Amino acid sequence: MAWLTYSFLERPIRSRHRTTNIILILCMSVFLLGVAGLTVKKLYGFKSRHFSMLNGDSSTVVLGADRDKLQHECGISEAQKYLFQYCLSGGAEATHYLLLGDSKAEALFYGLVRESKPEMQWMMIGSVYPPEGDATSEDRQQLKNRLALETIIHSPSIKAVVLAVALRDIFPVDRDTGFLAKDFVPSSEKIASYSLTIQQIEQAGKRVVFFIDNPTFPDPTSCISGGATSSPFLNQFLRRKKNPYCTIRYTDYLAGTRVYRQFVGELKRLHPSLIVYDPTPLLCDIPHNICTVTHEGKFLYSYGDHISDYANSMIAKDMLSVIGKLIP
């Protein structure tokens, strides 16, 4: 009977101990959350991020910070400028160098203007591509393409033209990787249209530079990873995981763009004077077989897979040196 009484009384006691432990754990959890909240508040929340704890300085995810300094001029008549998304000039002096292409050309243009000497002014005609198909086509895009090409050909001051068109605007690519299908075969019409454009520009006494497109990555905002505060403890909770698509192997990039590079190689074969400029060695760590979105703590890309102002300056310095040696 005594044993039964003891067991009967012990169960409520154990139950009370269990309840007390649960309450203590909950109180401790609330206390720790309060400490975490006060710490973040003291550090002014996410505004106080220490960039050294991220994979790159997020303030460098910028493109066209100095676009307001550019002029709305590209050799196109006032009545036709409205047709072009990009019609830009870096200065009032006579322009000898022109950039032709799409939004990838625009991303490069800011660096070329920023890093050029005063006597090496640049102009850009954007949202255009080499004309293709029937020359009598009334398609709006083809009309723009032909108008841009005719402007270049008949401009005596222009010495060189850089052709910069995104890989995805030449061939269909995988949306996530930017790679071409392994069994993809480019059409002869595509090679013919680019070849004819290069031929017409060269026959007008101008040099042509083909700018190879940069590797494709997700939007850089999804590539910012690492601890968000200066506290190692809080960074266990306030941390952005690494996006696996924000790093690729250089060899995979070459394999995924093999057809594109063969296309460029064919253009070079057809036009020996064509200058091919490849920015990949500046954007990838080739000795370590890796391409990523940052370089020395700075982001190489801005919106989408467009290069940032940091990258376009780095590329422009090298590219201008190449052009300066090959095109007096």
pLDDT at position 244 is 81
Give the residue with greater pLDDT, 264 vs 55.
264
Q: 110, 94, 86: which is closest to 315 by C-alpha?
A: 110
Identify the band that residue 271 occupies on the pLDDT scale cut at 50, 70 and 90: very high
pLDDT at position 52 is 39
Distance CA 304, CA 222 (A): 10
Residue 173: phi and psi, rounded to 5, are -130, 165
201-205, 221-225, 322-326: range with lowest mean pLDDT: 221-225
Residue 40 Cα distances to 119, 230, 238, 239, 278, angstroms:
51, 10, 10, 13, 45
Instruction: Find tokens 């300085």 and name the residue.
Output: 57
DSSP 8-state code for residue 157: T
Distance CA 280, CA 277 (A): 9
Identify the band that residue 232 occupies on the pLDDT scale cut at 50, 70 and 90: low
38-52, 98-112, 164-178, 185-199: range with lowest mean pLDDT: 38-52
Could you read off the pLDDT of 21-62 as tens digits, one per residue? 666 666 666 666 665 555 544 443 433 333 334 567 878 889
Across the range 253-278, mean pLDDT stands at 96
Half-sphere exposure of residue 198: CA atoms within 13 angstroms, side-chain side? 25
Identify the band that residue 83 occupies on the pLDDT scale cut at 50, 70 and 90: confident
pLDDT at position 132 is 84
Q: Is the pLDDT of residue 6 over 50?
A: no
Give the residue with greater pLDDT, 225 vs 116.
116
Give the residue with greater pLDDT, 210 vs 12.
210
pLDDT at position 119 is 80
Could you read off the pLDDT of 290-309 as tens digits, one per residue? 999 999 989 999 988 899 99
Could you read off the pLDDT of 63-72 as tens digits, one per residue? 999 999 999 9
Q: Structure tokens of 326?
A: 């090959």
Q: Is the pLDDT of residue 285 over 70?
A: yes
Cβ atoms of residues 141 and 157 within 8 Å = no
Cβ atoms of residues 218 and 245 within 8 Å = yes
Q: Is the pLDDT of residue 191 over 80?
A: yes
102-116, 133-147, 205-219: range with lowest mean pLDDT: 133-147
Across the range 251-271, mean pLDDT stands at 96
* Burial 310-328, CB ≥16 within 10 A → b, else e: bbbebbbeebbeebeeeee
Identify the band that residue 3 occupies on the pLDDT scale cut at 50, 70 and 90: very low
CA–CA–CA angle 269, 270, 276 (5° rounding): 60
Could you read off the pLDDT of 101-131 as tens digits, one per residue? 999 999 999 999 999 988 888 999 999 999 9
pLDDT at position 38 is 54
Q: Is the pLDDT of residue 9 over 60?
A: no
Portion of the chain with pLDDT greater than 90, in percent: 55
Mean pLDDT of all residues in the chain? 83
Instruction: Find tokens 């941390």 and name the residue.
Output: 239
Distance CA 35, CA 233 (A): 11
Give the residue with greater pLDDT, 229 vs 287.
287
